[in-house]
Structure 1
Amino acid sequence: MSAIVLPESIRTALWKTALDAQLRAYAPYSHFLVGAAVLDEHGCIHAGCNVENAAYPEGLCAEAGALSTMVLAGSRAVKAVLVVGEGPGLVTPCGGCRQKLREFALPNTPILIADRQMVRASFTLAQLLPESFGPEHLKNDK
């Protein structure tokens, strides 16, 4: 299943939103700043940043924060995600965030991975979380 193709204007808006969020991250312990942007079914973009605390690693991931702001705004469907992080490797969502994204996104939802200079990679949710368990598995049609 191929990813949904995003217009360049949407990709740029997601990247800029995630960059701004990354600058607001609170990471005094790891010093690893992450920003995320989620595009919802209404075309709105919601931002999140990682927030650590003294009970490290009991913090909040950027993707989880973006999903929370999306839900608070009344949205329930993720159409695209962009994550910004710095490092030699790709900064992809952690396993827990992949499952959180699965709650609101379809398998072909694009997940863009970027740094402060550019989008470095693009995956579908199915590529990051193959054969996943989602809300449809809990539907009781009896």
Structure 2
Amino acid sequence: MKTQQTADALSAKLRQHRLHIPGLAARQDSIVLGDVTVTTADHLALLLGAPAQQVQRNLDQWPEAQQLMRRLGAAFRTVTGGGFLDLYFHHDCVRCDSDAALTLGPIGPREAELLLSAIQTREATTQHPPTTRSTHARRSDD
């Protein structure tokens, strides 16, 4: 049950940062992350503290995607204290009309907890943590 709770908490936190990871789910003793767009992978890398992409061309292309995978893998390793994130690049496919994507391999519950903690720590050190709700105070005469 703890694996499911961790997956749910991680999913909610990523949604707060507008990161859409539709395949994120608890499966037995791991958390499956699944396929994400290259843009989502880039935003995740930045959220985890990776430096910005040096080459500002199309991330859907092979060399840029390789650089993105290195950045994301290194950031994941840093925030999890040496954890490994299996990454696979799927280039865009004209025949099947699908966009380029990255498959993020499954991670253990402990790595997911460390990932969640790293995101929360980064929020605490920024001036304006993301929020999905309005922060406007309600007037008493409403």
| Superposition TM-score, scaled by structure 1 size | 0.29
The structure where strand makes up a greater share of residues is: 1
| Structure with more relative contact order (C-alpha pairs < 8 Å, separation 6 or more) | 2
The structure where helix makes up a greater share of residues is: 2
| Higher-Rg member (1/2) | 2
